[in-house]
Amino acid sequence: MDVVLFSTQYFEEPTWTNKQHIAVRLAAAGHRVIYVDPAAPISPRKYSLPGHLARALRGDLPGNRFLSFTHVARKNLWVVTPPFLVPRRSRVVRRLNRRITTRGVLRHLSRLMRRLRFGKPVLWIYRPEAVWFAGRLNEELVFYDCVDDYVDYPIYPLDEDNERIRRDEAELLARADLVATSSRHLYERKSPANPNTHYVPNVADAAHFARTAETAVHEPPDVAGLPKPRIGFAGAVESYKLDMALLSATADERPDWQVVLIGPAESGDPDLDALAVKPNVHLIGPRPYAELPDYLAAMDALVIPYRLNDYTRGVFPIKFFEYLATGKSVVCTGLPALAEFGETVPLVSDPSAFVEAVEAALAGEQDGKRRARIDIAFENTWEKRIGELLGLIDETLNR
């Protein structure tokens, strides 16, 4: 199968999501994949030309990736990084940028597909605005893999951006031959618009994170010196998703706990800045995916302190099963997507109840369910999810 995958995330981002995991595994299985980085990124502050260049200079995005339009990431996997020409400062500028980048990407993809002798590809779409490419790449099937509720993204700078996403997604849902959703909430919202919609939940690389569950590991030096107990979170440290007030209250109420946040964090967020100055809160930045199991193993409890809003109602965090695979005690806020796991992992959103749940986890009250957590992780692997998705694609093509 030849695949053109339109992602919401740059392939080189250190914090991997569904897009990188699926692209890499499809390529490893022999499918050829062109992975298209965002052409019109969601966050203008982070992905404008100056912000993009700053990331390259910092090493978050290697310089050769910034300058080259296409590179071979690994066997059977090509990454296309569209040039983001101008920041989205005004309506005219945003429309101009979108027009130039999308048409430029189309020309480049058409030439690349001819050079690689792609057959009729599957358009594997994550971002609704990529619906513009449907019908323009001689595709065999349009597949919308819906893992976020973009119409409720709280980080769009203007109402116009949100309205555009609504229009794009409505068109994508109407044109898609197949839709998969990663949470039941997303299924309930998207299925009325497309009868071939299926719930296929997020999963994790259980084997990767379980390697630290049964063996002692050498603690990474940047956390080895921190006192215990350590409460860990790994992922994007963004206030639209993380409950900064909950984390702040936890750090204040238990000053002897060390709250360790592993992942990219944008400065300039007043809530995050207020949290970061607390002496027992440690923002250590993103770490390579290969090293994440060692960092999680160095924690005494793992948390997913997501805020509850219209956006997170549709979120099924990949890190949930990653955490379970480590065997560590886990505490989460009450995300609807995790409700079915409430007997295994405490789901609490009130600050005092959250602190009590973490305290109980540190006291060993979850120890009896350690094996159950690991087993659940291994029941929800990428191999299983990709197998289900490929089965749905085959079924749709046969129909």
Better pLDDT: 104 or 109: 109
User: Checking DSSP bridges between strand 70-74 and strand 77-80, what pairing results, if any?
Assistant: antiparallel
Contact 381, 126 (CB under 8 A): no
Averaged pLDDT of the chain? 88
- 52-66, 255-269, 288-302: the lowest-pLDDT one: 52-66
User: Checking DSSP bridges between strand 77-80 and strand 178-181, what pairing results, if any?
Assistant: unpaired
Instruction: Count the neighbouring beta carbons within 10 Å of the beta carbon of residue 159.
Output: 8
Q: What is the mean pLDDT of residues 236-252?
A: 92
List, in order of start, the domains of the chain with CATH numbers: 2-203+381-398 (3.40.50.2000), 206-378 (3.40.50.2000)
Q: What is the mean pLDDT of residues 182-194?
A: 96
- 233-242, 265-274, 369-378: the lowest-pLDDT one: 265-274
Residue 237 has pLDDT above 50, yes or no: yes
Residue 334 has pLDDT above 80, yes or no: yes
Residue 301 has pLDDT above 70, yes or no: yes
- 82-86, 298-302, 363-367: the lowest-pLDDT one: 82-86
Question: Which helix or strand (DSSP H or E) is residue 386 part of?
Answer: helix 382-398
**Most confidently modeled range among 61-65, 159-163, 368-372:** 368-372
Better pLDDT: 248 or 52: 248
Q: What is the mean pLDDT of residues 271-292?
A: 93
Confidence of residue 240 (pLDDT cuts 50, 70, 90): confident
Better pLDDT: 387 or 53: 387
Beta bridge partners of 232: 260, 302
Using the structure block, give the residue that is written with the tokens 């060692």.
294
Reported as a single tens digit per residue, the pLDDT across 338-357 is 999 999 999 998 999 999 99
Structure tokens at 47: 């992905």
- Residue 324 to residue 345: CA distance in whole angstroms: 9
| Rounded (5°) CA angle 282-14-113 | 165
Residue 157 has pLDDT above 60, yes or no: no
Residue 64 has pLDDT above 50, yes or no: no
Give me the helix-helix angle, 382-398 and 18-28, nearest 10°.
Answer: 70
- Residue 120 to residue 97: CA distance in whole angstroms: 28
- 74-83, 128-137, 191-200, 220-229: the lowest-pLDDT one: 74-83
Q: What is the pLDDT, as a whole number, of residue 44?
A: 44
Residue 103 has pLDDT above 50, yes or no: yes
Q: Alpha carbon of 153 to those of 150, 162, 241: distances in Å?
A: 5, 8, 10
Confidence of residue 49 (pLDDT cuts 50, 70, 90): low
Q: What is the largest CA-CA distance in the chain?
A: 61
Contact 235, 306 (CB under 8 A): no
Confidence of residue 218 (pLDDT cuts 50, 70, 90): confident
- Residue 95 to residue 305: CA distance in whole angstroms: 36
Beta bridge partners of 36: 6, 80
Phi, then psi, of 106 in degrees rounded to 5: -60, -45
Contact 293, 128 (CB under 8 A): no
Report percent pLDDT > 70 for the chain: 86
Report percent pLDDT > 90 for the chain: 68
Q: Where does the chain show beta strands of DSSP type E? A: 2-6, 32-36, 70-74, 77-80, 122-125, 141-146, 178-181, 197-199, 230-234, 258-262, 281-285, 301-304, 330-332
> Can the peptide bond before residue 121 be classed as cis, meaning omega within 30 degrees of 0?
no
pTM: 0.87
Structure tokens at 272: 């995050």
Q: What is the pLDDT, as a whole number, of residue 324?
A: 96
